[in-house]
A and B are shown apart, each in its own frame.
Chain A
Amino acid sequence: MFQRCGYLSDEELSSVFPDMDRLQSGPVAIIECIQEIPCNPCQDACPRDAIGPFIRMTDNPVINFEKCNGCGLCIGSCPGLAIFVLHLCYGQDTSMIKIPYEMLPVPCPEQSVSLLDRSGQVIGRGIVKKIQSLKHNPKTHIIWIEIPRELYKKARNIKVDNNE
């Protein structure tokens, strides 16, 4: 399916998604990378050894959700920009998603932005909370966005409107 349309179906997604118990217990990284490509820097990026081990470079990344604390260091190290961190119970009815972002303009904290799903459709609005980047990769921004909780499985990109 993903080879035809370029995004994961719900079924494909379920193979990389943590269970509800884990989601409710705090932030966690989700690696949306299910094609065996020769790539493994995510393993080296994790300070808690939660990703891997890769036996072959082409193995799919496997993440140990119990070891992962959702720090997000892997986000800016993934060449495929395929890693997101989800904090399901961030606010009363909201979640927090951290996404890799390489477009301009970079939004500001507290700015309202459009939320896009994996096919680029606008599905709602979120509030930018924080903007980070790694020292060794300052050009991939890691954007923290507060989103309506019902969109936790869908929202994976933002659109920054110029007139906002």
Chain B
Amino acid sequence: MRISFDAVIIGAGPSGLCAAKVLSNTGKKVLLLERDPFLGGQLLKQTHMFFGSKQQYAGIRGYEIANILIKDIKHENITILTDTIATGYYPEERVLLAFKQEKELIQIEFKQLIVATGASEKSLLFENNDLPGIFGAGAVQTLMNMYGVLPGMDIVMVGSGNIGLIVSYQLIQAGAKVNCIIDAAKNIGGYFVHAAKIRRLGVPILMQHTIHKAIGRSTIEAVEIAPVDDQWNKIPEKSFRRDCDVLCLAVGLGPMTEILWQMGCQMSYVPELGGSVPIRKTSLETTVPGVFVAGDAAGVEEASSAMLEGMIAGMYAAKNLGIAEDVFQKEWLNSESYLKELRHGPVGEKIRKGIEKVEA
């Protein structure tokens, strides 16, 4: 089957939903593709209140924001395909191939494309890192917050970034014990206020420590934790043992950009953004005309900025389709300046550095 749309959005997470919200207001023919059976992406797992400003839904919990965004889309103007994976791109015909609901392959023609595929979790190299009971933090969140399954009761968390801190907090809310959070870096990676929440629950945060090895027969039973020196060398002779039934890895994310590579977008490896990301304009249009990137696929950041990027990409894609600016709400037009505000200050420094490298 071959179908044709003015605009196609891949991914219905925070950025894809915001792009869909903008484009569904233009009267153009829009398609939203989502791999999962439901819309919302990572927002659905976020039970904490969001930071930012009221324009970015500050103070509202992530899963509630997903529901607001889904409601905001003008559904009569948009075709939504869940359980559908964009698997390939054929440049000769400018056709996207997608696998729909495990049944059929569909070909999709488009004028404008927004790639909002998000990110995937990174892992860590250590002995026995394939033992059952070793999870990525996103997997723990999916089990716990989507399906109501607690993966274990005695947790060791690796990573003091916001995800490590937030998932630790959620595990305690769900009734598990978090033994400790460890991180090889000197300073806590996440927001201080998230760390403070965890500390006053009595969870130690051991900085300059890493996993030496995992111990267990059929499933994880303990870990050996080793200190790390100022040059990031592990000191195994000083390692110590902590019993646990889950080792949770929150060691960063990498942008999911396979489809952008296939499309021939010019890519660049930018450590500050988590991996390889496309070179783009401030409009988020890549080096392939009509192909946009938004959210974590453009560089790993967080959901508030992903939403703003979705707005921006959606508006510029609409402009390419001949839509005049007056269709857009005033709030949307401020997205670029809000994004600047979110990235201002010391915690935004890394992102600003990364963006500088890829904005053409």
Between A and B, how many residue pairs show CB distances below 8 Å? 131
Q: Are A103 and B172 in contact (CB under 8 A)?
A: yes
List A contacts of B194 (CB < 8 A): 80
Nearest chain B CB to A116 CB, angstrom units: 6
List A contacts of B304 (CB < 8 A): 38
Does B29 have its Cβ within 8 Å of any Cβ on chain A?
no
Can you list, as one digit per residue, whether each of B45-76 has a CB less than 8 Å from chain A (1) or not (0)? 00011111110001101000000000000000
Given contact pairs A5-B199, A80-B197, A137 touches B59 in the complex (Cβ within 8 A) = yes
Can you list, as one digit per residue, whether each of B334-360 has a CB less than 8 Å from chain A (1) or not (0)? 000000011111111000000000000
List A contacts of B201 (CB < 8 A): 103, 116, 120, 157
Does B260 have its Cβ within 8 Å of any Cβ on chain A?
no
6 contacts between A and B (CB under 8 A): A4-B186, A56-B344, A80-B191, A103-B201, A116-B201, A120-B201
How many angstroms between the C-alpha atoms of A137 and B64 in the bound complex? 11
Specify which of A5, A38, A77, A117 is in contact with B205 (CB 8 Å cutoff).
A5
Q: Are A38 and B195 in contact (CB under 8 A)?
A: no
Does A58 have its Cβ within 8 Å of any Cβ on chain B?
yes
Q: Which residue of B lies closest to A77 (CB)?
A: B59
How many angstroms between the C-alpha atoms of A41 and B172 in the bound complex? 26
Nearest chain A CB to B43 CB, angstrom units: 15
Q: Are B54 and A44 in contact (CB under 8 A)?
A: yes
Residues of B near any A CB (own CB < 8 A): 48-54, 58-59, 61, 172-173, 175, 186-188, 191-203, 205, 207, 304, 341-348
Does A87 have its Cβ within 8 Å of any Cβ on chain B?
no
Q: Which residue of A lies closest to B347 (CB)?
A: A37
Does A35 have its Cβ within 8 Å of any Cβ on chain B?
yes
Q: Are A121 and B58 in contact (CB under 8 A)?
A: no
* Interface set, chain A 97-141, CB cutoff 8 A to B: 102-104, 116-121, 136-137, 139-140
Q: Are B347 and A35 in contact (CB under 8 A)?
A: yes
Q: Are B172 and A118 in contact (CB under 8 A)?
A: no
Q: Are A35 and B186 in contact (CB under 8 A)?
A: no
Does A40 have its Cβ within 8 Å of any Cβ on chain B?
yes
Q: Are B345 and A38 in contact (CB under 8 A)?
A: yes
Can you list, as one digit per residue, whether each of A65-85 has a CB less than 8 Å from chain B (1) or not (0)? 000000000000111111000
List B contacts of A78 (CB < 8 A): 49, 59, 193
Nearest chain B CB to A108 CB, angstrom units: 19
Q: Are B347 and A81 in contact (CB under 8 A)?
A: no
Q: Are A57 and B342 in contact (CB under 8 A)?
A: yes
Nearest chain B CB to A157 CB, angstrom units: 4
List A contacts of B198 (CB < 8 A): 6
Q: Which residue of A lies closest to B341 (CB)?
A: A57
Q: Are A118 and B196 in contact (CB under 8 A)?
A: yes
List A contacts of B52 (CB < 8 A): 38-40, 57
Nearest chain B CB to A107 CB, angstrom units: 15
Nearest chain A CB to B140 CB, angstrom units: 18
